[in-house]
Chain A
């Protein structure tokens, strides 16, 4: 097997030396057709891509066992394709096009071999096996990079959504408002609490008005989280005012035996703000 691999890689290197100009031109032209028209990659980048690919391929074939995916030359080639795929995805290119382009690169080698009559059928078989093994590994690496990038994007979008869905606003000097919309689960509560407590310390806020008009259902877990948030605010030395508790939620809290005895509550956000102003000694009135 190893003998076959050695023969195959030597033949491939020979082919590359003989036809490097032809292969390079072909893959550059294909790169231009696939990535150049949509401005995914510039002309210079496409040229660099083909030159670097051929260099790295020769480096890999020069090693003792090109199929060893742990060796530096193989890792360099994987990293190279990983980086290119990231770049293409980041610029709005299609992963499908990149995968087809990689298949084209493989085909270029195979076609160049077919033109050489000196290559024996057995040797040809070994070369094809070597090529397909190397490219399969590279495709897997590219696919993995693509999935990781996608996951990172989804995580970032979720984080952004969580942050924007709980906007903490300083509505007056020392008064923060926090409208809570949707469901309060453990991870969201942790996120809100962290941001809120840091804002209290940062703005030296004396009052926090938490409006739960947008919370439609409440279970023991959600109410536990709300009480926890109120307690943390109080421990910081600020006053927490809970507003907008819907009748059905008030009823649910009562049936869950949730005691809001130590919590300042008001019916609406505006009542909550009035209470916060009263605590601060701020008087707001109509201009005469």
Chain B
């Protein structure tokens, strides 16, 4: 299902996969966030894999979105795991992060 720029898929075993596209508007994510949480609720998911394969750079705005989604997921007892983070994105993010992020990270879905 497509939720305002994020494609959400059930991948089995209580997990869902979120794949953001260019259509995701980071300046107004309230609707997308609620829609994702509703779907996670509906499918009784306990993990959300957020695919960052097509995101070469994560700036502060993008990071704030990931943080808010991860915290919202935690509020409904869902663990958010960012996968496929690009070296460029990890490199940039590591230079401005002060604390560990609210989400977990993994190479891919098989890794964790």
**A residues neighboring B (CB under 8 Å):** 193-194, 197-198, 200-201, 204-206, 228-229, 231-238, 262
Contacts and interface: CB of A to CB of B under 8 A. Distances in A.
A201 B86 CA distance: 8
Contacts of B105: 234-237
B111 A193 contact: no
Given A193-B94, A197-B87, A238-B107, 9 more contacts: A198-B87, A200-B107, A201-B86, A205-B107, A231-B97, A232-B93, A232-B94, A236-B87, A237-B105
B105 to A, nearest CB: 4
20 contacts: A197-B87, A197-B91, A200-B87, A200-B107, A204-B107, A206-B111, A231-B93, A231-B97, A231-B100, A232-B93, A233-B90, A234-B100, A235-B82, A235-B90, A235-B93, A236-B90, A237-B105, A237-B111, A238-B107, A262-B100
Contact of A197 (B90, B97, B106): B90
Contacts, number: 56
Contacts of A205: 107
B83 interface: yes
A193 B91 contact: yes
B60 to A, nearest CB: 15
Contact of B94 (A204, A229, A238): A229
The 6 closest A-B pairs by CB, nearest first: A197-B87, A232-B94, A237-B106, A235-B90, A237-B107, A231-B94
A201 B94 contact: no
Nearest to B105: A237
A232 B83 CA distance: 13
Contacts of A228: 94-95
A235 B111 CA distance: 13
Nearest to B86: A201
A194 B86 CA distance: 11
A232 to B, nearest CB: 4
A205 B94 CA distance: 18
A228 to B, nearest CB: 5
B21 to A, nearest CB: 22
A232 B100 contact: no
Interface in B8-66: none
Greatest chain B CB density within 10 A among A198, A206, A234 is at A234
A198 B85 CA distance: 11
Contacts of A236: 85, 87, 90, 105, 107
A198 B91 CA distance: 10
A174 to B, nearest CB: 9
A287 B17 CA distance: 43
A231 B92 CA distance: 11
